[in-house]
Structures are given as C-alpha cells and as structure tokens.
Amino acid sequence: MTQCSIEMAQIDDDRIPLLFQTKKDEIEERREVDHVIEIKETNPLGSRTKKFVNQIFEMFKDLDNSSIKSSTIFRVNVWLSESNPDAYRPKMVSIGPYHKRHPLVGPMEKYKLLYLRRFLQRKGGLDMESCINQLEKLKEKALKCYDNIEDLDIREFCHMLLLDGCFVVEFIRERCEMCPEGEEEIININPGYILQDLLLLENQLPFFVLNHLHHITKQDNELPFAILANNSFTFLVDLPKMTDASFRKTECNAVNIKHLLHLAHIFSCHGNPMKLNSKDCKTRNKVMPNATELSEAGVRFVKVRDMSSLFDIKFENGLMTIPCFQVEEGTETILRNLIAYEQQSFDVQQKYFSDFATFMDYLIDSEKDVNLLRQNGIIENWMGDDKQVASLFNKIAYGVGVHSNFYYNEECIKAVEHCKKPWNRMKANLRHNYFNSPWAGASTVAAIILLLLTATQTVLSFISVIR
C-alpha cells in the first residue's frame, strides 16, 4: 500500500463516526418530516369526518317523537299488506297523495271537477282562489299527517286538498240527501264502491280539512259533517245511525277525529269497555281449539240476540255467544284497513278489530267451522262459499300483532280449560252419537229401558232359583 493510500484510509477512518452521525441526523429529520406529512394528511380526513357528523346531526335536528306522532295517514306496512295488497288500494277514486297517479282511478278525475263546480255554486262569491288561500293556512298541519311526501309541490298539494276534499264533502252530502231539491246525482254507479274507497287507510284526507270545507258551505239546517259521514257508512260498517243528540253523548268532536276511517273506528268501538286481563297472559299463547273441536267437546254456539257490539263475545259454562255478522265482498277490505289503522297508530290502546280477527282465526280453520257457525246463525255468508270465508279469516290475521291486553284472553282460557275435562268430551260424544235427533234419542231411551227390564228379569230369575 502506498503512503497516499494509507493517508486516505486514515482520513476515511477518522470520518466514519462523523458520517454515521450525519446519517443518523438525516434519518431523524426524515422521520420528523414524515410525521409532519402524516399530520397534514390526517387533518383533512378528520375535518371531513367532523363535517359529515355535523351534517347527520343537522338532518336529525327536526326529527323528534312529536313529528312522528303527528302522522295519522300511513302507508300500510309490508307485514299486513303482503297477503292481499289490493285490499289497501282504491279501485274507483283516489283521495290524497299516495295513489294520485294510479291508472285505475284516472277516469274519476273528471267527476271531481263536476263536484268542485257544484261545491263552489253553493255559496255566492265563492271561487277556487279564495278556497285555496284558506287551505294554504292548513297546509303545514296537513302535510304532517302523511308519511314521506316531501317531494310534493306545495301549491299542487293545496289544489289536491281542494279537489279531493270537495269531492268527499259533496258525495257524502249526496248520500245523506242533503242536496237542494231537484239537484241530480253526478255519479250513477253503486255508491258502495266509492264509500269503500273512502275507508281505505292510504286514501284519506285530514278530517279538519273536510270539516273546514263543509263549514264553508254548510246550511243552517245541516248536521255536522261527522254525523253525515257516519250515517253514510252505516251499511258498510256496523255503525249506529247518529243524530245531533246521540253524537254529543259519544263525547267526540271534530277536533279529535283524524280522518274518515278513524271516524268509523270511533263509532264502531264506542261503548266497548277496556279490558285489563288479570290472568297470566301466557295462557293466551296456547292455541284455542277451532269451532268443530269445541263442538266435539260439548261447547254450544249461540248468536247474541240483542247485539250491542260486534265484539261482545262471551264464553260461560260451555256456551259461547257470538254476535251475528255478515260476510260479503267488501268485508275483507274494510276489516283489513281498520286493523291496519289499529296496528300502526301509537295511541290506540284496545285493538278491537285486530283482536276480533285473531279470535275468528282461532275459531275458523276450515269450511267445516264456517258451516257450523253459519248453521247456528252467527255468520251470514253472502259470498256463497264457506271455503272462501274460511280463507278470509285465515289470511286476515296474518301480520297482526297480538298484544298482552288481548280482548278475548279470558274467553280463550275458559275454552281451553273446558276442553281439557274428559267428562265434557264424554257428554258431547254421547249427545252427538245417541241424541243427535229426536228419533235417535227415542231409540236410545227405549234401548236403555229394555236393557234395564232384561237385567231386572235376569236378577229376579236368579233369586227365584236360589230360593
């Protein structure tokens, strides 16, 4: 190695610690830079997240329980509508925003215009613009009655309230013969079809809108709109005819009524007591025997003679009393919508129609059960086929929630306990097999007497032989 090389090596050896120190400083510096870069890259993400969270809270700012509770006209949930979605859709006339563009109800729009014209002609100086201006004051309250219609134009919404509201008011006036003498009916079809559409849950206007429109053109001798509406639906739903005096006794007023379906529900259930079941509610979960099985266990079915309510079903000492009711073409639709209203309303405590449908589903499993109830005068089958009636009650309770305060809890418990007793079934078998007709009963009694006489003769003969 030359002298120059040795000197260079020495110089390199002397610089080695310095080089390592420099490298170390560079590494530390890079780490600091990387850390700064990491912070700079993280901060924008954090700010975006914070902004997103603020947006979420902003969306929920106006969403509270009061806004949810204000909804009174619902879309029927899937659990209830799945078995028969057509039962909740209008067939003739659309009322409100949910089915406004349904093709089936298009032809009725021209009739709505005719009813609107007749409504405006009832009072001098009344025109569309003044009516819409009055409805503008009610629009915010009316909008809160519906679910998810934010995309609807406000002006269009007010036009709809006027057009549909005038149709409902004038049609019900027509049904109650409150039109001036000589005024002809506008629609010459079966009014039952339209009245049935007016009782659909998704096909409603807020009652305060209808009441307001009625009040604008109300005559001095005209009854309140709630009474007119009730009296229009009496042949579709089991409702008593109302007078001004009887209406006041119900302690109901227009402020408390949400819509026409609610009105029908109020007057159908009026006078029925709330039931607070004291017995263990788990007993209700046991399936009550159907009508045929109950009959085989000795239960007798009798229709209520002086019916005060459809829901007045009692079971006592092997006797089940049930009010007589008709089953016809529109029965399923009306029952389903009353049930849907009960199931989706937070303020309905006793769910009478839901419990009635559930009880009838327990009682009816097949056409044999329908036939038994029909023969006892409980069901008046206007559909003609007992199998159809059985299918109706088997499907109508699908999706219905059975709550702890089940209205017929005690009746179900008593029926189950009755069927558990062997003696009841033995008596029923004896009655069915040997006393099911007068001739069979007479033959059975004669056979018993003959058997007793034969036995007596045998005993006497045996005693004489012994002597």
Q: Is residue 134 part of a domain?
A: yes
Do 422 and 439 have their domain in common? Answer: no
Do 182 and 230 have their domain in common? Answer: yes
Q: Is residue 417 part of a domain?
A: yes
Do 46 and 164 have their domain in common? Answer: no
Q: Is residue 211 part of a domain?
A: yes
What would the mean pLDDT of 274-279 be, rounded to a whole number? 59
Do 93 and 211 have their domain in common? Answer: yes
Phi and psi at residue 301, to the nearest 5° = -110, 130
Say whether 292 sits in a helix, a strand or coil.
helix
Do 84 and 201 have their domain in common? Answer: yes
How many domains does the chain contain in total? 4
Q: What percent of the chain has pLDDT over 70?
A: 73
Do 417 and 339 have their domain in common? Answer: yes
Do 242 and 120 have their domain in common? Answer: yes
Do 263 and 313 have their domain in common? Answer: no
For residue 349, the model assigns a pLDDT of 85
The number of angstroms, rounded, from the C-alpha of 405 to the middle of its chain's C-alpha atoms is 17
Cβ atoms within 10 Å, residue 187: 17
Structural domain boundaries, residue 444: 435-466
Residue with token string 């309230």: 161
Rounded Cα–Cα distance for residues 437 and 31 (Å): 104
For residue 58, the model assigns a pLDDT of 61
Q: Contact 247/224 with Cβ under 8 angstroms?
A: yes
- Rounded to whole angstroms, what are the CA distances from 421 to 75, 302, 426, 428? 47, 22, 9, 11
Residue 206 has pLDDT above 80, yes or no: yes
Residue with token string 């909740």: 88
Do 123 and 218 have their domain in common? Answer: yes
Do 401 and 307 have their domain in common? Answer: yes
Q: Contact 309/272 with Cβ under 8 angstroms?
A: yes
Do 313 and 384 have their domain in common? Answer: yes
Do 213 and 348 have their domain in common? Answer: no
pTM over 0.85: no
Tell me the per-residue pLDDT of 82-124, one tens digit each, with 9 for 90 and over.
Answer: 999 999 999 999 999 999 888 888 889 999 999 999 999 988 8
Contact partners, residue 352, CB within 8 Å, separation at least 6: 268, 269, 272, 311, 342, 407
Rounded Cα–Cα distance for residues 87 and 335 (Å): 9
Strand 300-303 to 314-316 pairing: unpaired
Q: Is residue 188 part of a domain?
A: yes
- Which of 246, 268, 290 is the last residue before a domain boundary? 268
Q: Is residue 35 part of a domain?
A: yes
Tell me the per-residue pLDDT of 115-166, one tens digit each, with 9 for 90 and over.
Answer: 999 999 988 888 999 999 999 999 999 999 998 776 778 888 999 999 999 9
